[in-house]
Structure 1
């Protein structure tokens, strides 16, 4: 609570907003049943701050279920940051098996493991790809260098990972995104 309190107080003073004294007593109830229940700071922490945190956690848990989190964790094995520090052949194969099983034939799944070994050694030594931090920027560089034609299975997997959030979006979010895109396109014309 005290992280930015001075900034908040300064802002309130500038805009002539009354600041509550957090050390003042807090009374619950009304009339004869009115009783003192600690101070304003205690009330703020218990009834406002903790309740807000609980609501935020509930919303995050609703949006990011166990399956979505596992997908994100396994997908991070393809992340180019820090010269492919998080690369993991086993994680990537598990990603394909669990989330993209229908997109690969059985023989392709077996060949993917071998292709990933060559892919990792080839990509991690390429000076053009070492400093990239964005996954989409990395994929563009792979296309530019022709490596997508060499590592066809990895290319397909990366395209699936990059498009997965769009394909799994709720209808409401999809329509909202389309509205934003159309609005942006109309403004450009």
Structure 2
């Protein structure tokens, strides 16, 4: 891998003796492959879909809700579920999320649940879906 890299097109031109085979594959080939994959992902997914995925991730009970933040969940609701939540519901949702964070984080049956479908199922099993009806919705 420490051998000098010689491209097939450089036979008759002056070659760069400082480039190794390792450098060529690590940087030139790898970077081109990553750039291609990023471009493919960007072309396949619309911005709204990516934002929905990012905001939905905040509903996951990660690390016992240590990173739980109400703002992204409210943005998710306002942007994608505006037909289901009026301004009063949004206000109640914020209050429910604050209580939910304190209540569920200390509840043993809610520790380390993944994916979000298990969290929803556990809300129903424990009847917390009635207390946190807006979160369940």
The number of residues matched between the two structures is 134
Aligned to 1:35: 13
TM-score, structure 1 normalization:
0.58
Asked if the contact 1:28/1:37 (under 8 Å) is kept, the reply is no
- Partners of 2:136 and 2:118 in 1: how far apart? 14
Give unpaired runs (5+ residues) of structure 2: none
Q: For residues 81-116 of structure 1, what are the alpha-carbon distances to aligned partners after superposition, in whole Å with 9 as ceiling and x for unaligned?
A: 111122112221121111211122332222211222
Give unpaired runs (5+ residues) of structure 1: 3-20, 157-189
4+ long deviations beyond 6 Å:
none
- Partners of 1:81 and 1:99 in 2: how far apart? 23
1:120-139 mapped onto 2 (5 Å cutoff): 120-139=101-120
| Rg (Cα) greater in structure | 1
- Partners of 2:103 and 2:75 in 1: how far apart? 22
1:91-102 mapped onto 2 (5 Å cutoff): 91-102=72-83
Q: CA RMSD in A?
A: 2.8
- Of structures 1 and 2, the one with the larger relative CO (CA 8 A, separation 6+) is 2
Aligned to 1:85: 66
- Partners of 2:97 and 2:78 in 1: how far apart? 15
Q: Secondary structure at the match of 2:101?
A: helix
- Partners of 1:94 and 1:49 in 2: how far apart? 36
